[in-house]
Amino acid sequence: MPAPRVIYWFRTDLRLHDSPALKAAIDLEPECLYPIWSWDPHYLYRAPVGPNRWKFLLDCQNDLSASITKLNPRSKLFLIREAPQTLFPKLFNEWKITHLVFEKDTDAYGNDRDQNVIELAKKAGVDVVVKIGRTLYDPDQLVKENKGKPTMSISQVQAAGARIGQIPRPIPAPQSLPDPGNTDLSFHQERPLNDPDFNTAQRDGTDKSYEALAGPNNDFAVPTMEELGPKEATTPHRGGESIALKMLDEIISNEDYTATFEKPKTAPTAFGPQSTTLLSPHLHFGSLSCREFYWRVQDVVDKYKGKASEPPTSLTGQLLFRDMYFGAQASLGYLFGQTYKNPQCRFIPWHLPSEIDTKTGFITGKYSKDSDQAEEWFTRWKEGRTGFPWIDALMRQLKLEGWIHHLGRHAVACFLTRGGCYIHWERGAEVFEEWLIDHEAACNIGNWQWLSCTAFFSQYYRCYSPIAFPKKWDKAGDFVRKYVPELKNFDQKYIYEPANAPIADQKRWGCLIEGEGDGTSTSEGKLKLYPKPMFDFAERRDICIKGMKNAYSIGLYGDNPKVLDGSWREL
Ligand code: FAD
């Protein structure tokens, strides 16, 4: 038998520690091991990715590449700018590859792509090894142990998990790595990633003339932000396994914090530092292993002398939530990401409810996409100009930094959907997809469904007030002052309702509350402008609750024939 020649395909696992897939590749005792990242144009052109997430990814890639080189000075992360579906058959042939190894990805697109690549490998006579490492449990197994159904609650995850067995302990990082083989590419052609001449077929990899790229300098380097296009990152959060492990060490060294963590007690208004771990982007890119995180926490909890917190509010409970959404997504595939045809997702006729039609039980008005008012509210929500400082501060933090606290996400998601604007959750999820540095399809979609009470959670009568809720955490309004600096001089009495401040005070504090807050200043230029609230919150909340009540009583789901053919309108 000739010695194995292995491609290790990095994707959701930008780390060396606790990587069952990387261990499997090394255990093959290969003659050569190529650590590859295939730059899939799907993510450049199809999926909305904001500059902050790009930057985080590049940080992770640079850090990983340097760590690989530390273990073997002849190796590094080889970045190839081509879709895996067209790249791998060429590499199999060119580099005489015998094995392809990677971590399992159950995202809808990732799963399709991998099935395609596995078929291509089979045709080329290449063995494929796939290992679990992205979640605590294999999402497919979780579904199987949940009677073949999507996991929709933590107790289902716990019950299915108990049947699967103990979560595996993390495995150490390798001490050395095999050499890569010859990296010549006969099909190489120089072209930057942001080449404007790519047509759609080239972008999605179906046009075979899109040649493999080893980067502008033919050195397989990690791209720069410039290579990705004219995008400027503003996030202060940095990526990479080295940083992730340091952050984890710091958290774990605080035993009280680790053992007694209770999510509902963490302040969404805390910044510098935030009140939760901020490890989510590292879990997303795999620069931190979730099993490493889980067991480091569990070991502290097991030894803790006082009363430790428990799932679902504890830190390990948070990781179980993550697995729950992965299980739901694995079961439903592409349908998970939408209401249409989704049997788990309640159908709510999201639009602009101004009044309820008492005969039909539905809110009168048009579907949200047709409504000018809904569009205006959506834009103002997205741009942080709603006139509710708490909501605006959160949306501005999200855009600027790419991360907001979980309860902040609750607040803006509830406000956009069932607790204010009555706009479709899918539209909010799209904005999060673009701006979050931790965007994880399963978690984003699942949490939006939860918050909009379309799946997972149904207490639609409990809404977050954009005034009372933040006051509970941050009476002085420091969080608002940081992210909505126009209001920084306002007395705390008015910080969440600045429109109530007397005009003379508004002038004294340097900001007038008027108009729609498009970022301009008054004509004299001395005073800033901040918008009035775009609606009366209490009035809107009541209308939304009535709308939700009616929709629940009619009880349609995304796969109902009336939803599919649009006849719900005549109900
Ligand atoms: P911690 O509280 O420190 O929790 C530790 C880890 O547990 C997190 O890093 C995360 O991986 C996981 N976790 C915690 N809460 C949840 C949860 N509710 N659902 C799933 N995993 C959880 N999380 C994402 O990772 N990606 C997303 O795209 C995402 N979108 C969201 C959208 C909405 C509308 C809402 C309400 C929540 C979303 N979340 C998402 C879940 C949660 O808000 C973040 O995981 C969490 O705020 C990340 O901060 P942290 O690392 O400090 O969390």
CA of 318 to the centre of ligand 1 (A): 8
Mean pLDDT of the 521-543 span: 87
Closest CA to 395 of 416, 374, 376, 425: 416
Answer yes or no: is the C-beta of 280 below 6 A from any ligand 1 atom: yes
**Which of 416, 443, 444, 454 best tests ligand 1's pocket when mutated (most atoms within 8 Å of CB)?**
443
Mean pLDDT of the 253-281 span: 98
What's the maximum distance between 2 C-alpha atoms anywhere in the chain? 86
If you take atom 52 of ligand 1, which residue's CA is the nearest one? 278
Answer yes or no: is the C-beta of 95 below 6 A from any ligand 1 atom: no
Mean pLDDT of the 94-101 span: 97
Say how far apart CA 60 and CA 245 lie, in whole Å: 12
If you take atom 44 of ligand 1, which residue's CA is the nearest one? 406
If you take atom 45 of ligand 1, which residue's CA is the nearest one? 280
Instruction: Of 22-26, 370-374, 419-423, 492-496, give the lowest mean pLDDT range.
Output: 370-374
pLDDT one-digit tens code per residue, 311-364: 999 999 999 999 999 999 999 999 999 999 999 999 998 875 455 454 444 545
Answer yes or no: is the C-beta of 439 below 6 A from any ligand 1 atom: yes
Mean pLDDT of the 491-520 span: 90
pLDDT at 210: 43
Residue 432 neighbours by CB distance under 10 Å: 21
Percentage of residues of the chain with pLDDT beyond 70: 89
Whether residue 208 has pLDDT greater than 50: no
CA of 440 to the centre of ligand 1 (A): 9
Closest approach atom of ligand 1 to CA 439:
28
- Band (pLDDT 50/70/90 cuts) for residue 367 is very low
pLDDT at 366: 42
Whether residue 168 has pLDDT greater than 60: yes
The sign of the CA dihedral 210, 215, 220, 221 is: negative
Answer yes or no: is the C-beta of 323 below 6 A from any ligand 1 atom: no
Instruction: Of 49-58, 62-71, 124-133, 226-235, give the lowest mean pLDDT range.
Output: 226-235
Closest approach atom of ligand 1 to CA 428:
34
Does the N-terminal peptide bond of residue 273 adopt cis geometry, omega within 30 degrees of 0? Answer: yes
Say how far apart CA 389 and CA 317 lie, in whole Å: 31
Helix, coil or strand: residue 479: helix
pLDDT at 369: 43
Answer yes or no: is the C-beta of 325 below 6 A from any ligand 1 atom: yes
Whether residue 224 has pLDDT greater than 50: yes
CA of 219 to the centre of ligand 1 (A): 36
CA of 255 to the centre of ligand 1 (A): 21
Closest approach atom of ligand 1 to CA 405:
47
Whether residue 237 has pLDDT greater than 90: yes
pLDDT one-digit tens code per residue, 434-448: 999 999 999 999 999
Are residues 149 and 143 in contact, defined by beta-carbon separation less than 8 angstroms? yes
pTM for this prediction: 0.94
Mean pLDDT of the 205-234 span: 75
pLDDT at 479: 98
Answer yes or no: is the C-beta of 407 below 6 A from any ligand 1 atom: no
Tell me whether 0.90 is exceeded by the ipTM: yes
- The residue among 129 and 567 whose pLDDT is bigger is 129
Q: State the burial class of residue 27 (Cβ atoms within 10 Å of its Cβ: 0-12, 13-18, 19+).
A: exposed
Question: What mean pLDDT is reported for the chain?
Answer: 91
Answer yes or no: is the C-beta of 445 below 6 A from any ligand 1 atom: no
Whether residue 187 has pLDDT greater than 80: no
Instruction: Of 17-21, 210-214, 224-228, give the lowest mean pLDDT range.
Output: 210-214
Answer yes or no: is the C-beta of 289 below 6 A from any ligand 1 atom: no
pLDDT at 477: 98
- The residue among 451 and 564 whose pLDDT is bigger is 451
Helix, coil or strand: residue 25: helix
Answer yes or no: is the C-beta of 416 below 6 A from any ligand 1 atom: no
Answer yes or no: is the C-beta of 490 below 6 A from any ligand 1 atom: no
